[in-house]
Structure 1
Amino acid sequence: MDEAIVGNLRSEWYNCVIILDNAKYHKVKPTWVPSRGNKKEVLVAACNRLGIHVESKDTKAKLRAKLEPVLAAVQPTIVQMAENAGHRVVFTPPHHSDLQPIELVWANVKGTVGCQDTSATTFADVKERLVTAFANLKGTTVQKSIDKSDVCKAAGGEIRGHEAGKQS
C-alpha cells in the first residue's frame, strides 16, 4: 500500500477496514528494523535507537534476543500507514483465500477471460480482455463476492457493503 492509496482512502473514505492476506510483502516492517542477517553494528544501532542497553561483548545472538520482544511489537509498515490515516488492517488466517473477496472477483475475471482463449490468443489479447472484463465487472458481482466470503463475520461484523465507510 503506498501513499497514493492511503491518500485516496483518506479523501474518499473514513474508518475503513482493510483486509489483507498473509503475503510476506504485506508484513514488511519499517526499514530501520534489523533483519536476521544484519551485521552486529546494525543490531547495536537498533538497540541504541530503542534505548536497549548493550555491552561491547554482546554477541549477535544476545543482541537479537534483546531486540526480539521490542521488535515483535513493531507493526508492519502497511498497518502503520493505514492507522495513521484512521483505518484498520485485518489479516486473514493463512490459507483462507475464501475470506478474501478479491480472490472471488479475480476468479470471476479469470473465468471470463479464460473462456475467450484460443490457440491464436496473444498476450496483447489477454491484456485487452482483462481490461474489458474489469470494465464490465458489475458492482453487484463485487458485493456478492463480499457477501459470499463472509468477510463481515471475519471483521467482527463491521463491514456492510462498500457504502458503510463512505463519508456523507
Structure 2
Amino acid sequence: MDGASYHKRRVENIPTSNTKKQEIIDWLNAHNIVFSDELRRPELLELVQMNKEKVTFACVKIAKQYEHEVSFTPPYHCELQPIEGIWSVVKGEVAHSGPHPNLLSVQNTLLNAFKKKITSQVIIGFWRRALKNAKEYLEFDDNAQLMDEDFDEYDNSDEDCVI
C-alpha cells in the first residue's frame, strides 16, 4: 500500500500542538508512558512523538482481523503501485478522445475507458510489473525491506500484459 494519508489514518487521534496539556497527559497515561509531572507541554508532546508508533493505522487493524498483513511502499515510487499504471491508461484515453464540452462527457469517457481498456489481463500485467520492480529494488538495495512472502507464485512470467 502506498503512504497516502487516507491509508494511514490511525485508530485513535494522536495529540498535536493544538491539543490541551491535560489531553496530552491523558493520552500518555492511556498508553502507559511514564513521565514526570514537572514536564511542560512541549516536552510532553515530544514524548507523544516518540511513542506515537504504538498507535496502529486503521487499515493495519482491519487487515489483521482477516489475517492479512499490510506493507507500505516507499514514497514517490509509483512504479511499485499497479493502480498508477491503470490510471495512466485511463487518463491517456481521456486525453486522446479530444475536447470535452462538459464534466459529464469526461465522466462517460472515463467509464468507457475502464470498461474497454482495463481488463483482468491488464491488471495482472501491472501487478507483475510492480512485483518485478519490487524484486529489482530488493536485489539492488541490501537495506530495502519488502514483504517476506515469496513473490514467485504471482510472477511466473516475465511478460507484462499492459497496453
- TM-score, L = length of structure 1: 0.72
Q: Which runs of 4+ in 1 moved over 6 A?
A: none
The answer to whether 1:82 aligns with 2:76 is no
The answer to whether 1:139 aligns with 2:133 is no
- Unaligned runs of 5+ residues in structure 1 are 1-19, 162-168
The answer to whether 1:114 aligns with 2:108 is no
RMSD (Å), alpha carbons: 2.2
- Unaligned runs of 5+ residues in structure 2 are 136-145, 156-163
User: Over residues 76-129 of structure 1, what are the superposed CA-to-partner deviations in whole Å (9 max), with x where a residue is unaligned?
Assistant: 1221122222211111111100100000011011111221122x5321011011
For residues 147 and 29 of structure 2, what CA distance do their matches in structure 1 show? 38
Alpha carbons of structure 1 residues 130 and 60: separation in structure 2 relative to 1, 3 Å:
same
**Which 10-residue stretch deviates more, 140-149 or 28-37?**
28-37
Alpha carbons of structure 1 residues 104 and 48: separation in structure 2 relative to 1, 3 Å:
same
Match of 1:51 among 16, 32, 37: 32
Instruction: Give 1:35 shift.
Output: 2.5
Match of 2:76 among 95, 115, 130: 95
For residues 31 and 37 of structure 1, what CA distance do their matches in structure 2 show? 16
AA aligned to 2:41 is: K
The answer to whether 1:39 aligns with 2:54 is no
For residues 92 and 83 of structure 2, what CA distance do their matches in structure 1 show? 14
For residues 134 and 47 of structure 2, what CA distance do their matches in structure 1 show? 39
Instruction: Give 1:69 shift.
Output: 3.5
Match of 1:125 among 94, 98, 105: 105
Q: Is the 1:32–1:46 Cα contact (8 Å) retained in structure 2?
A: no
For residues 73 and 138 of structure 1, what CA distance do their matches in structure 2 show? 40
For residues 54 and 155 of structure 1, what CA distance do their matches in structure 2 show? 36
**SS, match of residue 69 in structure 1:** helix
For residues 41 and 125 of structure 2, what CA distance do their matches in structure 1 show? 51
